[in-house]
Structure 1
Amino acid sequence: MNAAAPSRLVDKALAPRFALLCLGVWLNAADTLVTATIMPSVAREIGGYQYFGWSVAAYLTGSIVAGACSGKLSTGLGLRAATALTGLIYAVGCAMSALAPEFVTFILGRLIQGLGAGAVVALCYVAITALFPERLWPRVYGAVAGVWGAATLLGPLLGGLFAAAGFWRGAFWLFVVQAVIFVGAVLVMLPADKGDTGRGRIPTLQLALLVVGVSLIGGAGVVASPGLAATLAVGGMVGMAAMLAVNARTHDRLLPRNAADLRTATGLGLLTIFATEAAVIGFTVYGPAFIQVRHHASPLTAGYVVGAIAAGWTLCAMVFGHTPAQKDGRLVRLGAGVILVGAALSAWATARGTLIETAAAFAVLGAGFGLAHAFVARRAIGAAPADEQAMASSAVPTSQLIGGAAGAAGAGALANVLGFSHGVDPTLAASHGLVLFGAFLPLAVVGFAAAWRLGR
């Protein structure tokens, strides 16, 4: 769009596209909170508590693969066809999770579900930069954050109701229906566009290295030997580092060339997103289980306490979404600092605090993301070359997903080492729980350091 483009999101030309973005983001936002709420019930019915972290890692691995390829997918198939296809894949994954008779099938369903969800969200980010002028990006990010607010209220409620009724499978069937509606909306609302297959080749080597790296890290969460877990985790990090090295030296890239260059705003922004997400994903993975055991809370209550993270994020994103570009450096630094403080408070509160203290700590943690995330994304995307804008846009959620997968796998490995392989032991929750959640604080420090430089 040019300078004369509409400046209001409710403009007739922009409203249908904005509604479509909201629906796509809703699928991922609500799915995350619903699944976090029902996972203890899932593990009790079909077993596999020792693979608890892998259920999250499988979903995020699929999301990473799809998100990393979404920019290429959109240029190869066209935005409308790519988004409709990935929405259909998401529906198939939800159906597999709903029908799973045991945990292996459930994990496979979560993997396919992640493939669809990761691509849908990443393509929504691509659509923001493709369908809206740059001056509206922060406003769009802030407005879309309202969807997370709705998910914060409805996600734990839906998950808690299904878990309390002993019908957690119904939650996945509900998302099958929503995904079908999303696909229909895509075909109706998005304009037809032709892909450019000449520029849509998938960078298979980088993708293979990424899958191997994430899989090794995920494998660290399902082995009993601490030494083997550490070896797998290190091997996974080496695999991802190799992917970044190859990505910087090849023509067909799945991430911006400067993704690993910390001298650039793009590199610093993606590192901030990765490190902060890896530092806090453990609260989403194990928070509901700890809350249910320590406080004898229902799945509904546990879901809403963990949902305080999304609530804090949403509120701050909506309040500060209109901050002009000249001042966003301050919010980048402030938000990363609040994330660091919130992570430390949440580690203590989840293991030893009351329900109110835990919810308050989670709200502070989420507020940090709400303060910084949109502006970190704007700086990371805006600093990329014009021919890499689509890749930079999809790299924002992809970096967050990579951080989530690494953090979830690491939390799973550490949980098994600490004695939580068969559930949360109340006698160990206070002491070992503090270690489980506090061990990832150094990553929050890394994120803060990168954000401090980015805020210049």
Structure 2
Amino acid sequence: MTQLSQRAETGWADLFAEGRLPRFALICLGIWLNAADTLVTATIMPSVGAELGGYAYFSWAVAGFLVGAILAGASSGRLSEIFGLRLATTIAGLVLTAGCALSAAAPDMGTFLAGRILQGIGCGWIAGFAMVATAMLFPERHLARVFASISGVWGVATVLGPLVGGLFAEAGDWRSVFWLFAAQALLFGAAAPFLLKGTVKSQGRTGVPWLQLITLGLGVTAISVADMVPQPAVTVALVVLGLAILALVLRIDATAKVRLLPHQAGDLRTICGSGYAALFALTAASMGLTVYGPAILQTLHGLSPLAAGYIVGIQALSWTLAAFTVAGISGGIGEQRAIRRGAICILLGVAMLALFMHSAPLAFVIAAAATVGAGFGFSSSLMNRRLLGVIADEDRAIGASAFIAVRQSGGAVGAAIAGATANLVGFGGGLTVASAQATAIWVFVTALPMAFAGFLAAWRLSGVAVKA
């Protein structure tokens, strides 16, 4: 086979051939729903609070969604085996539709929050099933391009999500946002049975890993609640407790008859273990900018909320651009270098934020955010592909769905650590120049250990880790 023909078989035209384009579009729609729902809701929450009351429960709108999304994402691999990918994906679309409709019609904050939990479950399933569909329906040679496209959808959602939410909020019609997403989710659910033809239920005996899911739920809840507690000592204790419970999940899963994660997922000496550890730790390290970046930029740099949001969004834009630069890498030394380059960029970018965020010119902050985003772009899709390449066929569904759950768990841990740090340096007592400056330093300093741990895991993943 000539080099030209090999390039053609891994190009975009071949990716969309043989009926794969509609499936690719469905996966992208699912990722859009998951990403945009979160970003749009964050923008309209002040309007929701003004109409429904319950400002004290703002954090629960995020926490409820996050707990539902992580548990749903973690269970999606097994559920796709039990019900089949077509039926499971259809149900996920309907659950998200119901959650959006419930929030849109909510007469009070309690009903709104119930809708957010349903949205979290629906989005978690949709994202998880999208990963399963990618692993099951696309040849290995196309995985890097599919994962790069998924990164692109996230980037677009980062730009359009706040804009859409802001437009509806300014018009005083936040409820229409949820009706809009309900319609999209209904379209997704209706299209799934037709576009996922050819997928079948697992022929072997399977089940739901209830013990691991319950334990995971306890750990994620502890971590999510930690960010809402005003006492820093209690926050730190809850984060440590949550991490211990997450470690217990790995221990239980290693000997369970029905597993939540692939074999060796808890063994850092293996590609599987080091890969999931890298996804978890690097995501956790990046959360300081996402959670506190807008407030810091508005206070210290005098930016408007929209401008601050788009400065933070540069991270997603650079992620997208970098992901497409490595989409054509087929493996080998090129894959190894890209993964390591990405991990180095994330570690360097977090260090730059710790140095520049509090007082440096805005251009330095933009460069730091872009460096972090580029790091994820260089490494994420290739880490996913490398993991799928060593996961046994019987673990492929749960291995693919775990990509989302592991990242979201890392995000929850990173946000909680950032929250505990910010409260310790005075952010919880009120947003002033002094508290913003302290937060701008220490939120990123405390993220450096996670960034370094993720760097080491990614280095091992791309080099000395063994397959099993």
Q: Compute the TM-score of the two structures, normalised by the length of structure 2.
A: 0.89
Could you tell me how far apart the structure 2 residues matched to 1:446 and 1:50 are?
A: 35
Residues 38 and 408 (structure 1 numbering): CA distance in 2 closer, same or farther, change over 3 Å? farther
- Partner deviation per Cα, 1:12-33 (whole Å, 9 max, x = no partner): 4211111111111111222333
Residues 18 and 432 (structure 1 numbering): CA distance in 2 closer, same or farther, change over 3 Å? closer
- Partner deviation per Cα, 1:414-441 (whole Å, 9 max, x = no partner): 3344433476334421123322333222
Work out whether residues 276 and 339 of structure 1, in 8 Å CA contact, stay in contact via their aligned partners in 2.
yes
Q: 1:258 aligns with which of 257, 264, 271?
A: 264
- Partner deviation per Cα, 1:289-340 (whole Å, 9 max, x = no partner): 3334444444432332221111011000011111120121111111011011
- 2:287 matched to 1:281? yes
Letter of the 2:451 counterpart: A
- Partner deviation per Cα, 1:60-108 (whole Å, 9 max, x = no partner): 2211101111111101111011111111212222334445566555444
Could you tell me how far apart the structure 2 residues matched to 1:351 and 1:99 are?
A: 42
- Partner deviation per Cα, 1:341-394 (whole Å, 9 max, x = no partner): 112223444444455443332222111000000111112221222211111111
Could you tell me how far apart the structure 2 residues matched to 1:101 and 1:347 are?
A: 43
Partner of 2:3: none
Partner of 1:438: 445
Q: Residue 264 of structure 2 aligns to a residue in which SS?
A: coil
Q: 2:168 aligns with which of 162, 167, 172?
A: 162
Work out whether residues 53 and 412 of structure 1, in 8 Å CA contact, stay in contact via their aligned partners in 2.
no
Letter of the 2:438 counterpart: S
Q: 1:376 aligns with which of 373, 383, 389?
A: 383
Partner of 1:177: 183
Work out whether residues 269 and 454 of structure 1, in 8 Å CA contact, stay in contact via their aligned partners in 2.
yes
Partner of 1:245: 251
Work out whether residues 159 and 299 of structure 1, in 8 Å CA contact, stay in contact via their aligned partners in 2.
no
Residues 286 and 48 (structure 1 numbering): CA distance in 2 closer, same or farther, change over 3 Å? farther
Partner of 1:116: 122
Partner of 1:147: 153
Could you tell me how far apart the structure 2 residues matched to 1:398 and 1:297 are?
A: 34
- 2:429 matched to 1:429? no
Work out whether residues 36 and 303 of structure 1, in 8 Å CA contact, stay in contact via their aligned partners in 2.
no
Partner of 1:91: 97
Letter of the 1:329 counterpart: Q
Unmatched runs of 5 consecutive residues or more in structure 2:
1-5, 464-468
Partner of 1:64: 70
Partner of 2:405: 398
Work out whether residues 103 and 175 of structure 2, in 8 Å CA contact, stay in contact via their aligned partners in 1.
yes
Q: Residue 328 of structure 2 aligns to a residue in which SS?
A: coil
Could you tell me how far apart the structure 1 residues matched to 2:422 and 2:21 are?
A: 45
- Which stretch shows the higher mean deviation, 285-294 or 236-245? 285-294
> May I ask how many residue pairs the two structures share in their alignment?
453
Q: Residue 145 of structure 1 aligns to a residue in which SS?
A: helix
Q: Compute the TM-score of the two structures, normalised by the length of structure 1.
A: 0.91
Work out whether residues 160 and 299 of structure 1, in 8 Å CA contact, stay in contact via their aligned partners in 2.
no
Partner of 2:276: 270
TM-superposed deviation, 1:190? 1.9
TM-superposed deviation, 1:184? 1.9
Partner of 1:304: 310
Letter of the 2:339 counterpart: V
The 5 A counterparts of 1:207-246 are 207-246=213-252
Partner of 1:125: 131
Query: Which stretches of structure 1, 4 residues or more, deviate above 6 A after TM superposition?
Result: 47-50
Work out whether residues 53 and 411 of structure 1, in 8 Å CA contact, stay in contact via their aligned partners in 2.
no
Could you tell me how far apart the structure 2 residues matched to 1:88 and 1:291 are?
A: 39
Letter of the 2:122 counterpart: G
- Partner deviation per Cα, 1:126-184 (whole Å, 9 max, x = no partner): 10111111121112212333323432432232133234444444433322221112112
Letter of the 2:177 counterpart: A
Could you tell me how far apart the structure 2 residues matched to 1:156 and 1:252 are?
A: 40
Letter of the 1:402 counterpart: S
Q: 1:448 aligns with which of 444, 447, 455?
A: 455
Letter of the 1:191 counterpart: K
TM-superposed deviation, 1:285? 2.4
Letter of the 2:132 counterpart: V
- Which stretch shows the higher mean deviation, 29-38 or 309-318? 29-38
TM-superposed deviation, 1:48? 6.3
Work out whether residues 37 and 288 of structure 1, in 8 Å CA contact, stay in contact via their aligned partners in 2.
no
Could you tell me how far apart the structure 2 residues matched to 1:18 and 1:287 are?
A: 33
Could you tell me how far apart the structure 1 residues matched to 2:320 and 2:246 are?
A: 31
Residues 40 and 367 (structure 1 numbering): CA distance in 2 closer, same or farther, change over 3 Å? farther
Work out whether residues 24 and 182 of structure 1, in 8 Å CA contact, stay in contact via their aligned partners in 2.
yes
Partner of 1:321: 327
Work out whether residues 256 and 384 of structure 1, in 8 Å CA contact, stay in contact via their aligned partners in 2.
yes
Partner of 1:191: 197
Could you tell me how far apart the structure 1 residues matched to 2:32 and 2:220 are?
A: 26
Work out whether residues 421 and 439 of structure 2, in 8 Å CA contact, stay in contact via their aligned partners in 1.
no
Identity %: 47
Partner of 1:359: 366
Letter of the 1:234 counterpart: V
Residues 267 and 390 (structure 1 numbering): CA distance in 2 closer, same or farther, change over 3 Å? same
Work out whether residues 294 and 429 of structure 1, in 8 Å CA contact, stay in contact via their aligned partners in 2.
yes
Letter of the 2:372 counterpart: L
Work out whether residues 87 and 180 of structure 1, in 8 Å CA contact, stay in contact via their aligned partners in 2.
yes
Superposed CA RMSD in Å reads 2.6
- Partner deviation per Cα, 1:30-58 (whole Å, 9 max, x = no partner): 23333344456656766666665554333
Residues 383 and 53 (structure 1 numbering): CA distance in 2 closer, same or farther, change over 3 Å? farther
Partner of 1:79: 85
- Partner deviation per Cα, 1:223-258 (whole Å, 9 max, x = no partner): 233332222222211211111101000120111121
